[in-house]
Amino acid sequence: MAVLSTILALAALGVPYHAAAAWGSNGTSSNGTFKHVMMISVDGMHPSDVAKWIALRPQSNISQLIEHAYQYTDAYTSAPSDSFPGTVAQYTGATPRTTGIWYDDTWDWTFWPPSSNCSGPPGANVLFDETIDYNSTELFSGGIDPAHLPQSLVNGTCQPIYPHQRLRVNTIFELITAAGYQTAYTDKHPAYDVVRGPSGTGLTVGYFPEIAAVNTTLSEIIPYDQLHVNAWLDWINATTPVNTTIFNGNLTEVPTLFGGNFQSLSVAQKTIGYDNDTSNSLSAGLIEAFEFVDSSIGAVINDLKAKNLYDDTVIVVASKHGQAPIQRSLYRAIDPTAVNNNTGVPYAWITTDDIALIWLNSSSDTAKCRENLLANATAVGILDVIYGHNLTHSGFGNPQIDPAVPNLIVQPDLGVVYTTSVKDAEHGGLSYDDRVVACFLSNPSFEKKTFNQTVYTTQVAPTVLGLLGIVHPLLQGAASEGVTTLPGFTSLAS
């Protein structure tokens, strides 16, 4: 693969270029690199789910991928583990303290509300979900409406800020397009344009059917997910589906990097849950979701083989987030106002799921807020409240110097979800069930190997670049946080 632009960029930085190595079945490196990487997030999937599915369906497509995969059984996604930062982690190699992406619903002291012309005191809710669409009741309404975007000052001028502009560091998509290749991505909201990166050049094409336009039942989410699958199959054939967003020219070849997600398993976990009374614990709903996901992966594999691309493609399956609790009896819904009402101090914004992020009007109230919350820990279902020195030294950043960092993070007891909805699970929090996710990389040339040590999904980003023969020191977030390739791929470009 031609990587001239990357080599020149590295030379300008005084960084040497090293060609990547593709790992053969004998565990030694072979010449050259892979031509394509496909990244799939099966949202909500834990490593335990993979094991249960393989035990239930040993001849499944996922089982066949695992037979030629490097699998990581203790892979942690971002903290918080919401879909938005979980996605960004895999494509930047960095965590929220570096990327600035904490959640799809946050607060920032350098922003203003939509259509405000940056007037009045700074500080606003930064919302990057379906509400920024032109019309979230339609699958395709024209993408992001700039009138719905929060605003900020850019070089002294008030501008609406798109999700990709919110991102503080580059993405692997940007480095791949800079090297002269094409990319494609699909996800649940147009807001996932975030993966384009700050330059906006990371995606050749995007495909973002709005999930809020359909009911969140498994029977409606499976046809929704099929839209993502259809897009993948189109891309493998170097074509694009109707309603594609063209960001950087028409797609003229099979993308070097393409990917997206499945929502079906996540919706089944939240609306049906696990059957914890059975030995396998996969309920009928979860099995239905798994069967759809597995057959879809099979369709992708078959198309790659038909196009003689399978041997040249690494399939990465790494979930953005887990789901908590796996043990349904632990589930406990608490009205989010219980958090709000027990802060005891003025706050600017509170984001809740199976976590609470709190931005205070005054940082001087931080200790008092924590004291008040812990005084009502039983009623509010609180395990811990992270703040101050502990917040900073746990890797969450410093709210004293970063306007995007919350003052406090409430970690509830496992199973507690701050919601008024009826569901069986949720994600976004810091628990093991939230953060430990399925992660494996498969290619016919890989010898099956399992790694049980702790790894992080941020490591996927530099690994993907190495698999494509693109050096990863230029990946800003990973470089800043010292993130390396996944175990088993240490000889890739560095």
Give the residue-averaged pLDDT of 315-325.
Answer: 98
Backbone angles phi, psi at 19, to 5 degrees: -70, 145
Among left, alpha and beta (phi > 0; psi -120 to 50; other), residue 83 is alpha
Mean of the per-residue pLDDT values for the chain?
93
Give the residue-averaged pLDDT of 32-53.
Answer: 95
Q: What is the pLDDT of residues 103-146, one digit of tens each?
A: 999 999 999 999 999 999 999 999 999 999 999 999 999 999 99
Q: Pick the residue with more confidence: 276 or 103?
A: 103
The two beta strands, 205-207 and 382-387, are unpaired
Give the residue-averaged pLDDT of 248-265.
Answer: 97
pLDDT value of residue 121: 97
Banded model confidence at residue 186, pLDDT cuts 50, 70, 90: very high
The beta-strand segments (E) located in 263-393 are: 313-318, 332-334, 347-352, 356-360, 382-387
pLDDT value of residue 278: 75
* Separation in Å, CA 300 to CA 213, 232, 465: 26, 7, 22
pLDDT value of residue 36: 98
Q: What is the pLDDT of residues 339-389, one digit of tens each?
A: 999 999 999 999 999 999 999 999 999 999 999 999 999 999 999 999 999
Residue 24 burial (10 A CB sphere; 0-12, 13-18, 19+): middle
pLDDT value of residue 5: 35
pLDDT value of residue 31: 36
Measuring CA to CA, which residue among 202, 197, 113 is closest to residue 160?
113
101-135: b (≥16 Cβ within 10 Å) or e: bbbbbbbbeebbbbeeebeeeebbbbbbbbbbbbe
What CA–CA distance (Å, rounded) separates 315 from 313? 6
Q: What is the DSSP string of 328-354?
A: GGG-EEE-THHHHHTS-S-EEEEEESS
Residue 8: pLDDT above 70?
no
Banded model confidence at residue 23, pLDDT cuts 50, 70, 90: very low
Q: Which residue has the tokens 């509010």?
A: 380
What CA–CA distance (Å, rounded) separates 103 from 357? 9
Residue 28: pLDDT above 50?
no
pLDDT value of residue 6: 35
Give the end-to-end CA distance of the chain in Å, rounded to a whole number. Answer: 17
What CA–CA distance (Å, rounded) separates 414 from 430? 9
pLDDT value of residue 21: 42
DSSP, collapsed to helix, strand or coil, labels residue 311 as helix
CB 258 within 8 A of CB 252: no
Residue 15: pLDDT above 60?
no
Residue 283: pLDDT above 60?
yes
Give the residue-averaged pLDDT of 478-491.
Answer: 94
Residue 483: pLDDT above 50?
yes
Residue 153 amino acid letter: L
Give the residue-averaged pLDDT of 158-175.
Answer: 98
What CA–CA distance (Å, rounded) separates 204 from 213? 25
Residue 291: pLDDT above 80?
yes
Banded model confidence at residue 33, pLDDT cuts 50, 70, 90: confident
The two beta strands, 257-262 and 36-42, are parallel
